[in-house]
A and B are shown apart, each in its own frame.
Chain A
Amino acid sequence: MLISAIAQGLLWAVLGIGIFTTYRILNFPDLTAEGSFPLGAAVAVTAIVNGLHPLLAMVLAFLAGMGAGLITGLLYTKGKVPVILSGILVMTGLHSVILYVMQRPNLSLLNFPRVYDVFDFLPAYFDRVVVGVIVLIAVISLLLFFFYTSLGQAYIATGDNETMARSFGIKTDRMKIIGLIFSNGIIALAGALIAQNNGYADVNGGAGVIVIGLASLIIGEVVFKDVTLGERLLSVVIGSIAYQLLLLGVIRLGFDTTYIRIYSASILAICLMIPQLRKGLRLGTLIGKEA
């Protein structure tokens, strides 16, 4: 059970990293995630069912997510549609795209290969752990490389202070589009990983994923303060695992899994309130010095 939760945490961490690149760096919430996540799942599962190699299927999922992000980005920057609404529009539209891709609301991977099969000589769930770690290393190192390039610094500056960024000639609209493209590509990749873990893709698979992604982000931030960008990305992974363990704990306590969403939302709500609670109760940080 424990190793299963850790494996889940690692796979969901990919989603957290994707959300981080817009929510925390560009400083706006992108609701496209709830559409690009099931889109990634649908594209990957459909590709595998049609005989493509799972790795290739994941590449396609990534590209599909990038396309979704591009549309949100264009609506937001060129169409001047508020970012939340842009995300909602694309998310809504993607529902039909997913149905079109799968030609049905739910598609099973039963008896089809999955990316985890490469490591099927390992004990149960360890294949997921290994794949999760490999994907996370790849995604995090690519992102870190990008963040420390000239373009990446301009990207960070755009989220940090847009007025200043523009006054130094940074094309902030382009930065936002780039961010939305890659963020949604990563989120779709997470969708592809989770679908292969679950063994199916569902058109409604995106509902509530933002809460899961944000929870890993926020838990990571509450536990680890004042860290470098690289450490921050790792803290998202740790936060994601912690979140899965918390959920496992809640279920172990005998709560009915039918109502799992309210547990997710409550965990996130509590984590978001921790800074405020700490102030009110004059408690120290969970780890380390007094607040």
Chain B
Amino acid sequence: MDTLLKLHQATKTIPNESDLDNTILDHLDLTIRKGDFVTVLGGNGAGKSTLFNSITGTSLLTSGTVTLSGQEVTNWQEEKRAKYISRVFQDPKMGTAPRMTVAENLLLALKRGKKRYILPRKLKEQRTRFEKICESIGNGLEKHLDTPTGHLSGGQRQSLSLLMATLTQPDLLLLDEHTAALDPKTSKKLMALTDQVIEENQLTCLMITHRMEDALVYGNRLIVMENGKIKLDLNKEEKAKLTLEDLFVLFEEEQVSPGI
């Protein structure tokens, strides 16, 4: 299959005046193929979020390269990469503009990566489409098209964030523990919706999660990060053989390994 994203010797260090520099990503190599749905596991400080930030351009690498669809984007700003990459954050507050309504947020998302002109925004023309999309997720969001997103529940906001991130087919979808802030029931629902959306749109996706069950159940590839490196990279078949116990053992080991 085609390579979509390639990180080569990706390194991120934070200078530390009084002590050794803090290396968060350590010469990491990672290749993501089109259609991959990768779940990412790793303890605190393993470098998962920094990996995501390096892919989106939120923070730039100290050394190494990022290649997206054959084009080197290592020094591209986040705004430029947003045309190809979309992201759902862990904090429900992060994914939407709180004072803007649900429909206005969706309209912003519709223009992801496109030029925004001084021309009327044309919200009315999109209303029926937005209503339909919101209806499809079945949590009553369609009744709140004119509600500022700041007034929505966390679950509604996260499902809206997911809709916004996938409204215009991104080349790469990044999910950063996007169900972690929700209660178990809502979290489960959102995860099922996520899987459905990825399946329907055949999206390429990286998903950080703390829930090992989710890491096993969803996706067709699993990577485990440790100390800024990829410790384990399992393909579909290997992942299918993996059990929850295996993962627990793996993380037990990690806790006693030096450097943590």
Chain A interface residues toward B at CB < 8 A: 146, 148-154, 156-157, 160-161, 163-172
Contact = CB atoms under 8 A, between A and B. Distances in A.
Interface residues of B, number: 33
Given A148-B121, A160-B100, A169-B112, A153 B79 contact: no
A75 B164 CA distance: 33
A158 to B, nearest CB: 9
A166 B107 CA distance: 15
A171 B77 CA distance: 10
A12 to B, nearest CB: 26
Nearest to A163: B94
Nearest to B167: A168
Given A150-B121, A152-B121, A164 B95 contact: yes
B82 A167 contact: yes
Nearest to B115: A150
Nearest to B109: A168
Interface string B89-110: 1000111111110001001110
B114 interface: yes
B83 interface: yes
21 contacts: A149-B117, A149-B118, A149-B119, A150-B116, A150-B117, A150-B121, A151-B117, A151-B118, A153-B104, A153-B108, A153-B116, A154-B116, A156-B97, A157-B100, A161-B96, A161-B97, A161-B98, A165-B97, A165-B108, A167-B86, A169-B113
Nearest to A153: B121
B143 interface: no
B258 interface: no
B111 A150 contact: yes
Question: Which of A157, A169, A171 has the most C-beta atoms of chain B within 10 angstroms of its own C-beta?
Answer: A169
Nearest to B98: A160
B120 interface: yes
A153 B114 CA distance: 13
B56 interface: yes
A148 B120 contact: yes
Nearest to A155: B116
B224 to A, nearest CB: 26
A171 B81 CA distance: 11
A167 B121 contact: no
Contacts of A165: 97, 108
A153 B97 CA distance: 10
